Amino acid sequence: MVDPPDDADTSPHTPVLFKEVLSALNPGPGSRIIDGTIGAAGHAAGILTASEPDGQLLGLDRDATALKLAGERLSRFGPRAVLRQGSFAELSTHAASIGWGSVTGVLFDLGLSSLQLSDPQRGFSFMQSGPLDMRFDTSQSLTASDLVNHLTEERLAEILRNYGEEPKAGRIARAIVKARPIEHTQSLAELVERVSGSRKRRIHPATRTFQALRIAVNGELDGLKRGLAQAVQVLAPEGKLVVISFHSLEDRIVKHFFREESMKCSCPPELPICVCEADPKLKVITRRPIRPSEGEIELNQRARSARLRVAMKLQMA
């Protein structure tokens, strides 16, 4: 089993569930893997090492800064690593652009990286003051500030409810509209904290609001649905789809997608391919999501909410 990359100690992002991802993808010589969320390339470096001497990797990210860093970290693998700026929602177009018809594995490690969270200028964190930005792709025009300062109270409440599962969505939206203009992350976090009352909770009161705005700015849930569908299209038979989610909205989408795409198969679990009359496209490998160990959470707090689900593309009848 491959270990995290040699430069892991100096990397701005620690890959979550590293061994579990590698074991699920099981890359080897000749494999072609798409890392749809390359970030700081921790998982990608492991995949390329495990697939020596000729395994290839296509890495995507919406964030040009992440992509630049990934390019530097993966330079030692030469042309075996190809990087493209873009969304995994257009995964099959990116694969076709480098002549890949099918692939042996697809990885989505959802959400944002520590690199993005720790840069106040990106506006993802309520712990440091910065502009209300939250774009993965900084060439996109819509920012969190546009939503916070221009949406109606009703639409804001809907976003906080639907994308943050925030029980106090109505009250927070009302307070936001009253306090406009709001320019900085910390002003918004303080306002949410005031409206929410007690801070004696496990998570900061602004967590749900920030999650909701980030999801809305980046169209994350629609992108995930499209990305999952495209991954199934490009996977070769027995190829693996591996997804790490960090909150219940993402995990629910992955779970439902896997269930729908594997439905009706009544084959015994030990069969590697479907032999019954049904036409499912996937076989779910993880009935329950894999969670990080206590040891991993102790070393990397970001891992605490991670859930890993794996499915395998079935041979078409």
Ligand X SMILES: C[S@@+](CC[C@H](N)C(=O)[O-])C[C@H]1O[C@@H](n2cnc3c(N)ncnc32)[C@H](O)[C@@H]1O
**Interface with ligand X by CB under 6 A: which residues?**
13, 15, 36-37, 39-43, 60-63, 66, 87-89, 109, 111-113, 136, 223
Burial class of residue 197, CB neighbours in 10 A (0-12, 13-18, 19+): exposed
State the nearest-atom distance from the C-beta of 237 to ligand X, in Å. Answer: 25
CB of 258 to ligand X, least distance (A): 18
d(CA 17, CA 245): 11
Write down the least CB distance from residue 11 to ligand X, Å. Answer: 7
The CA distance from 250 to 225, in Å, is 9
Q: Is 33:103 a contact under the CB 8 Å cutoff?
A: yes
Q: Greatest CA span in the chain, whole angstroms?
A: 61
Q: State in angstroms the smallest separation of the CB of 218 from ligand X.
A: 6
Residue number with CB closer to ligand X (117 or 278): 117
- In angstroms, give the least distance from the CB of 116 to ligand X: 6
Least distance to ligand X from the beta carbon of 198, Å? 30
In terms of CB distance, is 20 or 61 closer to ligand X?
61
Considering the complex, what minimum distance in angstroms separates the CB of residue 3 from ligand X?
14
**Residue placing its CB nearer to ligand X in the complex, 111 or 205:** 111
42: nearest Cα among 80, 85, 86, 7 = 7
Which residue, judged by CB position, is nearest to ligand X in the bound state? 39
Closer residue to ligand X in complex, CB, 109/133: 109
Q: How many CA atoms lie within 13 A of 2 on its CB side?
A: 26
CA 215 to chain centre: 11
Smaller CB separation from ligand X, 20 or 109: 109
Q: Of 97, 112, 110, 91, which is closest to residue 239 (Cα–Cα)? A: 91
Opening angle at CA 106, ends 52 and 87, nearest 5:
115
**Residue 304: C-alpha distances to residues 185, 290, 297 (Å):** 24, 12, 5
In degrees rounded to 5, what are phi and psi of residue 35?
-100, 105
> Is 164 or 205 the residue whose CB approaches ligand X more closely?
164
Judged by CB, which is closer to ligand X: 43, or 247? 43
Minimal CA–CA distance to 258: which of 271, 277, 245?
245
User: Which helix (H) or strand (E) segment is 99 a member of?
Assistant: none
- CB of residue 89 vs ligand X: minimum separation in angstroms? 6
Q: Is the Cβ of residue 69 or residue 284 nearer to ligand X in the bound state?
A: 69
Nearer to ligand X, 22 or 284 (CB): 22
Minimum distance of ligand X from residue 16's CB (angstroms): 7
What separation in angstroms does the CA of 237 have from each of 26, 61, 97, 226, 247? 14, 25, 21, 20, 29
Q: In what order do the strands lie in the sheet with 81-85?
A: 81-85, 56-61, 32-35, 103-109, 235-245, 307-313, 282-284
